[in-house]
Amino acid sequence: MSVNSTSLPFIPFTRPSFNQETIDAVAEVLRSGWVTSGPKLAEFEATLSEYFGGRPVRCFANGTATMKIALQVAGIGEGDEVITTPISWVATSNVILGVGAKPVFVDIDPISRNIDLNEVANAITPNTRAIMPVYLAGLPVNMDQLYALANQYHLRVIEDAAQAFGSKWKNRKIGSFGDLVSFSFQANKNLSTVEGGCLVLNNADEAKVAEKLRLQGLTRQGIDGMDVDMLGGKDNLTDVNAVIGLHQLKQLPSFQARRTALARQYFDAIRTEVKSAGIENLKLELPVENFIDSNWHMFQVVLPLEQLNVDRAQVMAELKDLGIGTGVHYPAITGFTLYQNLGYQTQDTPIAERIGRSIMTLPLFPGMTDEDIGRIAKALVGILKKYAKS
């Protein structure tokens, strides 16, 4: 078992930031006696709607529910096909299966690590009803190209923007335009409600359907009785979560500025360490550096495993020994047993298979120090040098 062999404090790959004002606000909600969906949820949804330029927004218990309900709002169901990426948290494709549709995986672009939009048209069939792109680590796809494709083939777009709250495209906030846009507020996201998510919709009619779907299909409740006119679930967000979100939203600009600064330091520190170690020949792949509108949700490197006498697990274990936490986001979905049993094969998306086998997430969160970045870069490059093939 790996243990921290250094006296320095452990750096997790992520950590949420909740200030005292947020903690006090949660206590106030708890004391109020109204802890489930209520006035704070209504306030949070209204504030989010304003943030997204007045578009309707509905919140849910988690980001998986937002995607599932987006599919239902779009009318996706049995026999339909949804084009998506194999590099994502498995929830992206699981919700497609969950509504009776079929995920169709298109390989990724090796630079952005997002779905390769140039290959999407080749995957479209008469059964294709939607495209579900994922904005890995907060980096959007080319939104102009995405919606040109959707318009050309008359497809709905369900944006899995779980990691992209605060990201932009040509200075427009992701979620402020487009079709259905799904965000997650899970604990490791740039804006966290501990658990939760929101869906940005196109109009009041879609918002009403989303409301019904998140609470058992309930359409009327009061002294004159109640009615249910569709099959829904139990996916509502509580006021406890909502008040956290309200305070996180106030802090978002400072969070974003700090994440951007830390990401810039990563690029400089890693390149400096690589040069100092004399291992410029190693093809360590860094994120897209010049995309100014990324929210820098994660900082991911792709290890040059073909040039190393070690696998990713060992690199991660040695970093842990040095007090540095890492993550894997993500292995190719097509390699999971569930999907293998459904007939999917990793060789059908070879770039995703390679990236999924080699990608590693380094720590990045607002509470990190400048010194943390230097320490991580030095540790990573030291391990790469030790195991570099001669």
**Integer angstrom CA distances of residue 58 from 69, 194, 309:** 10, 17, 49
Backbone dihedral angles phi then psi of residue 108, each to the nearest 5 degrees: -100, 160
The catalytic residue positions are 189
Q: What is the dihedral of CA 65, 68, 74, 76, to 10 degrees?
A: -170
In order of their start, the domains of the chain are: 20-246 (3.40.640.10), 252-387 (3.90.1150.10)
What is the model's pLDDT at position 264? 96
3-state secondary structure of 197: strand
Q: With left for phi above 0 and alpha for psi between -120 and 50, is residue 350 left, alpha or beta?
A: alpha
CB 33 within 8 A of CB 267: no
* CA–CA dist 30, 34 (Å, integer): 7
Q: How far apart are CA 16 and CA 325, in angstroms?
A: 15
What is the residue-level pLDDT of the chain in tens, covering all 390 positions? 455 666 899 999 999 999 999 999 999 999 999 999 999 999 999 999 999 999 999 999 999 999 999 999 999 999 999 999 999 999 999 999 999 999 999 999 999 999 999 999 999 999 999 999 999 999 999 999 999 999 999 999 999 999 999 999 999 999 999 999 999 999 999 999 999 999 999 999 999 999 999 999 998 777 777 899 999 999 999 999 999 999 999 999 999 999 999 999 999 999 999 999 999 999 999 999 887 789 999 999 999 999 999 999 999 999 999 999 999 999 999 999 999 999 999 999 999 999 999 999 999 999 999 999 999 999 999 999 999 998
* CA 237 – CA 60 distance, rounded (Å): 5
For 1-29, the three-class secondary structure string (H helix, E strand, C coil) is: CCCCCCCCCCECCCCCCCCHHHHHHHHHH
Tokens representing 387 are 């195991």
- Do the beta carbons of residue 357 and residue 86 sit within 8 Å? no
Closest by alpha carbon to 164, among 126, 130, 138, 202?
A: 138
Distance CA 236, CA 225 (A): 21
Instruction: In the chain, count H helices and then E strands.
Output: 12, 13
Interstrand relation of 156-160 and 168-169 (parallel, antiparallel or unpaired): unpaired
Distances (CA, A) of 327 to 273, 296, 331: 21, 15, 11
CA-closest candidate to residue 134, choices 184, 81, 195? 184
Q: How many CA atoms within 13 Å lie on the side-chain side of 125?
A: 11
Residue whose tokens read 């304003």 = 50
Would you give the distance in Å from CA 72 to the centre of its chain? 20
CA gap 169, 41 in Å, rounded: 28
The SS3 assignment for 384 reads helix
- What pLDDT, on a 0 to 100 scale, did the predictor assign at position 1? 43
Q: Given this model, what pLDDT does residue 4 score?
A: 67
